[in-house]
Amino acid sequence: MVTTVGEMGMSTESSAVKKFRRVLLKLSGEGLMGNRPFGLDPGMVARLAVEIATVHDSGVEIALVVGGGNIFRGVTGAAAGMDRASADTMGMLATVMNALALGNALERAGCPVRVMSAIPMPSVCETFIRHRALRHLSKGRVVVCAAGTGSPFFTTDTAAALRAIEMACDALLKATQVDGVYSADPRTDPAARRHDHLTYTDVLARNLQVMDATAVALARENSLPVVVFSLHHAGALGDVLAGRGLFTLISEEEP
């Protein structure tokens, strides 16, 4: 059963979401900016850390993948004339900065955490090795994954799908600027309709742009549910994991 949301935003509990024991949360770099035009908003980072720590304390195992678009975006750099591989590498380094900030905020929130980078930098953080990441999760630590896949030409959405599959997560939770997947951008189109549920094929065929095609294809091939929700609502992460609130579930079949 998927959460059904009526005209007034009422919802019922979703058993499809409540079963999640281990999840990967994808945070965009832009989401860490708050209302700032660039960089990090310490208040937003602290709020997200407290929400993650609260969910972690409830017994859910959590890994994170964080983007870097608030500092540098590889595609934008390439469009400005940079070599794409170099621009993407700069973008991956930006995600490390965000991951370190988030890891520090989680520690201050009383949450055990390990930052792991796909690009080896042992004087800064651990290198991502799958069995070590799994051990950290089993020991009750939050794992923050940085530097994307470690290779250019892949987005952090693809990195999130890859890491979720590698770490046997029950779902990928994608925190965005809006509370689900819409037929159009609800910030510019008042007629945009929010979807409660979509299949992977729906997302690809309609070119809904919630994640890049590689990430969606990876999720589909490995039957990884994707839950899209807004990071701007306080307590939204806990609500989603309890089957409440507004979100879109992307899976193979209707739950």
Give tens-digit pLDDT for 15-70. Answer: 444 579 999 999 999 999 988 988 999 999 999 999 999 999 999 999 999 999 99
Quickly state the pLDDT bin for 255 (edges 50, 70, 90): low
**What integer is the mean pLDDT of 134-150?**
98
73-77, 108-112, 128-132, range with the lowest pLDDT: 73-77
- Residue-wise DSSP of 112-144: -EEEEESS--TTTSEEP-HHHHHHHHHTT-EEE
Q: What pLDDT shows up at residue 79?
A: 77
pLDDT tens by residue, 101-116: 999 999 999 999 999 9
Stretch 155-161: mean pLDDT:
97
How far is residue 159's CA from residue 165's CA, in Å, rounded to a whole number?
10
Which residue from 142, 174, 141 is spatially nearest to 156, judged by alpha carbons?
A: 174
Q: Which residue has the higher pLDDT, 67 or 7?
A: 67
Domains of the chain are 1-20+170-255 (3.40.1160.10), 21-169 (3.40.1160.10)
Q: How confident is the model at residue 187 (pLDDT cuts 50, 70, 90)?
A: confident
Above pLDDT 70, what percent of the chain? 92
Tokens of 82: 């940079």
pLDDT at 186: 85
Q: What is the pLDDT of residue 1?
A: 32
Distance CA 48, CA 53 (A): 9
